[in-house]
Amino acid sequence: MKNRVKDETEDLPHFPGASNVQKHTSSWRLWHINFKFVIASQQWATIIFTILVCVVPVIILHWGPARHPRNRDIFIYDAGISYPLGDDSVPAWVAWIIPLILLILTVLVGEFILYKPVHANITNAVTTSLHFIIDGLAAFIVAILVYVATKSAVGYLRPDFLARCKPLGGPNYTFQPQYGTDTGTICTETNTSLVDDGRSSFPSGHACMSAVFVWYTAGYFMWAIYFRHRQSVFGSFVERKSWLGFFLKDLGHALALYWILLNVGLSWAIAGSRIVDNKHHPADVVGGFFLGASVALIFVIRATACLKFIPVYNIDTDGAEHLRGGEHGVGDNRLEMAEMGGEPPAAAPLSSASPHPGRANSLGAQHSISLN
């Protein structure tokens, strides 16, 4: 009988050493995603620990006794806090929603287009994509905890603080020229949340929230393009025997570079809007931007290294294999040996089933992973 299933390797760009992974047309249909495997393969210990360590303190800082920032002495003649109170040019939700969408888009392009041949089936692509997206959200949660705690502990005054406070000298008002500060100043504004927000200038939340996703995107894409595979990822899509082939490959690298710069520029523009709106001092913006970038790079470096611990889905056995083949630096060395002209080590047959129902054998290991 004629085989109706077309081998998808005919239509996919080829990575050396990845040919020993079987690919099926049906394995790339949405309804063939093994969601049970996708969910079970995530790093749940890290996810739960992040929620417990970060989310609970953030809730306490927002609604608990520490919700009021440090009360610093003010100088009512300080021009740095005498700017008018205005609206936000960029709402807070835009500062993180747009960069998050760009991160998700970048990861999907990387896993479903650039590295589709390595995954062999859609379940592996979804598993890896979710690994990076969840890790980016974890970095976002950690960054929020740090900047909220810093705002509360520092209590730095915003440029528009006096417009929020509407100060009035009380009976205990005294001017201290030796310190340049005023004590006993009374704020006539009855909206305490508005005044408390005026004491939350450092660091900039907008700059931090946008930077954490933008720099996570930059770190992931740089790793995917230049470090994940020994050869150029764009070289698998074009013939490099002519000048045009070399030009198209370099064009891919140029587009990747300017996609990263576009993301970083967006984050920097969001941060700059906070100075224009008189919501932050320049140091607040730089501090928030640095904080978000630092947390993001720590998480993305860890996520790329931990990818080797994410099991690979075998569509033939409906099970998990420990070794991630075909990815330089994050799995076994079959791809690297193939590129050097050597013979890759023998892997366990893909068609061999686990002796235990509901469990899958690991490549090169004597134990198995429960999928029930």
Q: Is it the case that residue 328 has pLDDT exceeding 80?
A: no
Higher per-residue confidence, 317 vs 152: 152
Q: 5-14, 173-182, 252-261 — which one is most confidently predicted on average?
A: 252-261
Confidence of residue 130 (pLDDT cuts 50, 70, 90): very high
Q: Is it the case that residue 19 has pLDDT exceeding 50?
A: no
Mean pLDDT of 184-189: 76
Mean pLDDT of 259-264: 96
Mean pLDDT of 41-66: 83
Confidence of residue 235 (pLDDT cuts 50, 70, 90): low
Higher per-residue confidence, 262 vs 253: 262
Q: Are 160 and 72 in contact (CB under 8 A)?
A: no
Please state, in angstroms and rounded to a whole number, the distance separating the CA atoms of residues 268 and 89.
Answer: 14
Q: What is the full DSSP assignment across 103-156? A: HHHHHHHIIIIITHHHH-SHHHHHHHHHHHHHHHHHHHHHHHHHHHHHHHHH-P
H or E segment and range at residue 176: strand 167-176
Lowest-confidence pick of 6-15, 201-210, 281-290, 315-324: 6-15
Calculate the CA 97 to chain-centre distance.
12
Mean pLDDT of 229-236: 66
Higher per-residue confidence, 360 vs 318: 318
Confidence of residue 238 (pLDDT cuts 50, 70, 90): low
CA 136, 142, 148, 153 torsion-angle sign: negative
Q: What is the value of pTM for the model shown?
A: 0.78
Confidence of residue 54 (pLDDT cuts 50, 70, 90): confident
Q: Is 275 exposed, middle or buried (0-12, 13-18, 19+ CB in 10 A)?
A: middle
Higher per-residue confidence, 284 vs 347: 284
The CA-atom distances, in angstroms, between 51 and each of 56, 121, 210, 239 are: 7, 31, 20, 47
Task: Give the model's pLDDT for residue 45.
Answer: 93
| Half-sphere CA count of 131, side-chain side, radius 13 A | 28
- Residue extents of the structural domains in the chain: 34-310, 311-372
Q: Is it the case that residue 300 has pLDDT exceeding 80?
A: yes
Lowest-confidence pick of 28-32, 47-51, 65-69: 65-69
| Nearest Cα to Cα of residue 120 among 45, 209, 17 | 17
Q: Are 331 and 324 in contact (CB under 8 A)?
A: yes
Please, what is the average pLDDT of the chain? 78
